[in-house]
């Protein structure tokens, strides 16, 4: 058996430096080759953080162990280079059998200068307060991103024998003693609904925010995805995590990557999302992890393990996702998927796993009961196709695929919608089949199905729901123009239609236009129609018409026409905007002259509202008398 120890450079002190070191040991001989450089004018200092921290950033404990009578690190008394790297087999500090290298390459974590200083503070805290039994581990996403060659600012510290708050207080005491400015410790209480299952302490160390939490183990109840918590071991903490690639630890004390699941490192290399425990058990305990699996697969470009694919389709798992997970959490995970590098793939996986009926489920309180006299409500519900989400969901998925292709083909389209989020773009395509469909709410009012889904089902902000609705409206208008080839006769009527549309949907018009092509057959004629409409909009100066301010404001209009504010003022302002669309070179004086020619609009009075208001006032007065 043959073993090889190599090191690029080591400093012996007093200006003496070894480079290109190679130690080879076989069955019959031991050979050492190196280059020695001596510079008496230069001394080597030990690897350390800035002097005020006073601790080493790299622990060398255990580096002089003996193997078969030979020191595993015969040069353990030399100084280590400043760049700190850690790996699963501690390579570079002991002889490693070549056979182990062929089985699995040791991963390397490249620590930045700031991270090195932060870890120095943490190790210094342990030494200062005699916390020798405390092991500091960086958990989860930081390790995963580092192994992928990415920088990460999300540093979660997992502790083996104390709470996060206790250790954070020690850190602040240590920094104070060193004369370093400290920050207030923030404690985030457990909030399982937001996937915060244990108390977390947050504090800034050297300007970087750190999360401190103890290692833990989980136990689940059948009726809830909220686990019970207790102190746990590093193995238990790794096994409770959602996926093996998120169950890796970076042991700061030893400077190595730890893989307690025994599959995390290999899954990183194979680019696979896999659960540490059986997938069905994992999803049964916390069904939200199905959504997280899709999010990480689309974000990292990893494949899903076959067991995950099988379990995600089981009816019991789908029911658990629908009944045990809050709508807010599903909406958050969906937004994370759409914000990834491959949002279309995420939507495709949702469709493949038959999750459309769960993710885009209509809120139950938006569905009128069958015995209700609102027969139109239940009819609209059925006609919308919500009972078969896969039907419109497949259409929406196809629209999203077509839209992505359209955007990729035209750089100009990308620049026009670059200010829009992926959530707006892909949700607009996914929900476009529901355009024109309404749902009767409990108040008896018809609302657009798109708004109800985004606002009430996914629990997303109303502004996003309105953006998607306006995109849908614009898409329908542009689609009609393409079908009738209305753009071939650029008359004032077409100019007015385009101007009014762009003023209403604002900067969403390029997305609406591209979506209109995506909902068609995406043939040559549709693409040419899109180009012609874009050219007309640009030639007429309407592309940013929504950014213009009115030539005559509301106060001036009321003064000139002798009216008060209200519906009449709104009608007059709309007429002035229409005039401006048709007269792009008109001046303020021209606009005022036109205003003077307009009659004051007659607005019919709605007496029913006054009657209802009077009835409400009388009922309140009666209640006060009764009291």
Domain ranges in the chain are: 84-268, 288-359, 360-548, 555-627
Q: Report the alpha-carbon distance of residue 193 to residue 546 in Å, rounded.
A: 41
Dihedral angle at the C-alpha atoms of 214, 218, 221, 224, nearest 10 degrees? 60
Taking residue 149's Cβ as centre, other Cβ atoms within 10 Å add up to: 8
Share of the chain above pLDDT 70, in %: 70
The DSSP line for 68-121 is TTEES-TTTTSBPPSS-EE-TT-TTSS-EEHHHHHH-PPP-EE--HHHHHHHHH
For residues 486-514, give the mean pLDDT: 91
For residues 360-387, give the mean pLDDT: 52
Quick one: DSSP state of residue 332? Answer: H
Quick one: DSSP state of residue 599? Answer: P
Of 100 and 396, the structure prediction assigns the larger pLDDT to 396
pLDDT at 400 over 50: yes
Question: Can you read off the two tokens belonging to residue 569?
Answer: 């003022």
Quick one: DSSP state of residue 455? Answer: I
Of 3 and 363, the structure prediction assigns the larger pLDDT to 363
Closest CA to 200 of 185, 212, 184: 212
Of 551 and 103, the structure prediction assigns the larger pLDDT to 551
Q: Is 195 buried (19+), middle (13-18) or exposed (0-12) by CB count in 10 A?
A: middle
- What value does the CA radius of gyration of the chain take, rounded to a whole number of Å? 33
Taking residue 281's Cβ as centre, other Cβ atoms within 10 Å add up to: 11
Kindly report the pTM of this predicted structure.
Answer: 0.74
Parallel, antiparallel or unpaired: strands 66-67 and 30-38? unpaired
Q: Is 19 left (phi over 0), alpha (psi -120 to 50) or beta?
A: beta
Dihedral angle at the C-alpha atoms of 590, 593, 598, 603, nearest 10 degrees? 90
pLDDT, tens only, 509-566: 999 999 999 998 666 667 788 889 999 999 999 999 999 999 999 999 999 999 988 8
Q: Report the alpha-carbon distance of residue 469 to residue 515 in Å, rounded.
A: 13
- Among 231-240, 413-422, 525-534, name the one with the lowest average pLDDT: 413-422
Cβ neighbours of residue 325 under 8 Å, at least 6 residues apart?
A: 225, 287, 288
Q: Report the alpha-carbon distance of residue 512 to residue 527 in Å, rounded.
A: 14
Q: Report the alpha-carbon distance of residue 308 to residue 124 in Å, rounded.
A: 43
Quick one: DSSP state of residue 419? Answer: T
Q: Report the alpha-carbon distance of residue 89 to residue 91 in Å, rounded.
A: 5
Parallel, antiparallel or unpaired: strands 303-304 and 228-231? unpaired
Q: Report the alpha-carbon distance of residue 501 to residue 497 in Å, rounded.
A: 6
Closest CA to 264 of 124, 429, 143: 143
Q: Please name the helix (run of DSSP H) or strand (run of DSSP E) that holds residue 176, with its range, or none.
A: helix 164-177
pLDDT at 190 over 90: no
pLDDT, tens only, 27-37: 444 455 554 44
φ and ψ of 287, to 5 deg:
-60, -20
Tokens 């504010």, residue located: 565
pLDDT at 106 over 90: no
Parallel, antiparallel or unpaired: strands 303-304 and 272-273? parallel
- Among 2-11, 120-129, 437-446, 519-528, name the one with the lowest average pLDDT: 2-11
What is the pLDDT, as a whole number, of residue 529? 85
For residues 172-195, give the mean pLDDT: 82
What is the pLDDT, as a whole number, of residue 379? 43
Parallel, antiparallel or unpaired: strands 256-258 and 85-86? unpaired
Q: Is 393 buried (19+), middle (13-18) or exposed (0-12) by CB count in 10 A?
A: buried
pLDDT, tens only, 273-304: 999 999 999 999 899 999 999 999 999 999 99
Parallel, antiparallel or unpaired: strands 16-25 and 109-110? unpaired
Q: Report the alpha-carbon distance of residue 548 to residue 579 in Å, rounded.
A: 14
Parallel, antiparallel or unpaired: strands 272-273 and 446-448? unpaired
For residues 237-246, give the mean pLDDT: 95
Q: In residues, how long is the chain?
A: 627
Closest CA to 126 of 93, 173, 80: 173
Of 124 and 439, the structure prediction assigns the larger pLDDT to 124
pLDDT, tens only, 49-78: 333 343 333 333 333 332 333 333 332 322
φ and ψ of 235, to 5 deg:
-65, -45
Tokens 């919608």, residue located: 417
Q: Is 612 buried (19+), middle (13-18) or exposed (0-12) by CB count in 10 A?
A: exposed
Evaluate whether 84-268 and 288-359 have a shared fold: no
Q: Please name the helix (run of DSSP H) or strand (run of DSSP E) that holds residue 414, with its range, or none.
A: helix 411-416
Cβ neighbours of residue 418 under 8 Å, at least 6 residues apart?
A: none
Task: Identify the three-state secondary structure at position 270.
Answer: helix
Distances (CA, A) of 95 to 20, 91, 104, 597: 16, 7, 16, 94
HEC secondary structure over 350-394: HHHCCCHHHHCCCCHHHCCCCCCCCHHHHHHHHHHCHHHHHHHHH
Please work out, in degrees rounded to the nearest 5, the angle formed at the alpha carbon of residue 402 by the alpha carbons of 396 and 408: 135
- Fold exhibited by the domain 288-359: Hydrophobic Seed Protein (1.10.110)
- What CATH number was assigned to the domain covering residues 84-268? 3.30.460.10
In which band, very low, low, confident or very high, does the pLDDT at 468 lie, cut at 50, 70 and 90? very high
Taking residue 81's Cβ as centre, other Cβ atoms within 10 Å add up to: 16
């Amino acid at each position: 058996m043959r073993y090889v120890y190599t090191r690029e450079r080591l400093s012996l002190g007093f200006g003496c430096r070894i480079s290109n070191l190679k130690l080879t040991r076989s069955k019959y001989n031991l050979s050492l080759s190196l280059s020695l450089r001596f510079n008496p004018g230069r001394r080597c200092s030990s690897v350390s953080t800035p002097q005020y921290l006073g601790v080493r950033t790299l622990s060398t404990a255990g580096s002089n162990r003996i193997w078969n009578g030979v020191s595993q690190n015969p040069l353990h008394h030399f100084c280590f280079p400043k760049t700190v790297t850690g790996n699963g087999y501690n390579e570079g500090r002991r002889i490693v059998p070549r056979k182990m290298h062929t089985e699995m390459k040791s991963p390397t974590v490249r620590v930045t200068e700031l991270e090195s200083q932060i870890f120095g503070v943490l190790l210094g805290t342990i030494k200062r307060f005699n916390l020798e039994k405390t092991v500091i581990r960086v958990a989860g996403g930081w390790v995963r991103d580092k192994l992928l060659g990415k920088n990460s600012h999300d540093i979660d510290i997992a502790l083996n024998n104390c709470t996060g708050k206790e250790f954070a207080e020690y850190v602040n005491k240590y920094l104070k003693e060193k004369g370093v400015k400290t920050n207030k410790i923030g404690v985030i209480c457990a909030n399982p609904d937001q996937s915060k299952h244990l108390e977390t302490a947050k504090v800034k160390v050297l300007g970087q925010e750190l999360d401190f939490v103890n290692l833990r183990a989980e136990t689940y109840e059948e009726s809830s995805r909220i686990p019970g918590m207790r102190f746990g071991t590093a193995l238990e903490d790794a096994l409770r995590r959602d996926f093996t690639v998120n169950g890796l630890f970076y042991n700061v004390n030893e400077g190595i990557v730890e893989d307690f699941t025994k599959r995390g490192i290999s899954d990183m290399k194979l680019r696979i999302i896999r659960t540490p425990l059986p997938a069905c058990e994992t999803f049964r305990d916390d069904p939200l992890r199905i959504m997280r699996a899709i999010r990480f697969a689309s974000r990292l470009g990893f494949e899903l393990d076959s067991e995950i694919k099988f379990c995600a389709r089981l009816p019991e798992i789908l029911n658990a996702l629908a009944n045990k997970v809050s709508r807010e959490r599903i909406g958050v995970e969906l937004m994370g998927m759409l914000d990834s590098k491959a949002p279309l793939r995420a939507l495709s996986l949702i469709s493949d796993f038959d999750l459309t009926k769960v993710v885009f489920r209509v809120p139950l309180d938006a569905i009128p009961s069958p015995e209700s006299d609102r027969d139109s409500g239940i009819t609209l519900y059925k006609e919308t196709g919500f009972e078969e989400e896969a039907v419109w969901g497949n259409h929406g998925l196809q629209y999203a695929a077509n839209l992505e292709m359209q955007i990729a083909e035209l750089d100009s389209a990308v620049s026009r919608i670059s200010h829009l989020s992926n959530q707006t773009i892909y949700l607009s395509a996914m929900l476009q089949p529901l355009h024109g469909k309404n749902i009767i709410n409990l108040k008896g009012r018809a609302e657009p199905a798109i708004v109800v889904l985004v606002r009430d089902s996914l629990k997303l902000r109303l502004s996003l729901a309105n953006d998607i609705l306006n995109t849908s409206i614009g898409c329908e208008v542009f689609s009609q123009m393409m079908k009738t080839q209305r753009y071939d006769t650029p008359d004032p009527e077409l100019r007015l239609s385009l101007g009014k549309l762009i003023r209403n949907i604002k900067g969403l018009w390029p997305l609406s236009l591209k979506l209109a092509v995506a909902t068609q057959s995406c043939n040559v004629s549709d693409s040419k129609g899109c180009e012609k409409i874009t050219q007309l909009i640009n030639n007429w100066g309407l592309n940013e018409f929504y950014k213009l301010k009115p030539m005559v404001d509301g106060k001036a209009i009321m003064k000139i026409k002798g009216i008060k504010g209200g519906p009449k003022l709104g009608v007059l302002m709309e007429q002035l905007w229409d005039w401006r669309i048709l007269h792009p070179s008109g001046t303020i004086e021209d606009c005022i002259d036109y205003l003077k020619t307009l009659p004051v609009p007659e607005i019919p009075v709605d007496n029913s509202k006054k009657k209802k208001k009077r009835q409400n006032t009388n009922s309140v007065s009666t209640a006060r008398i009764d009291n």
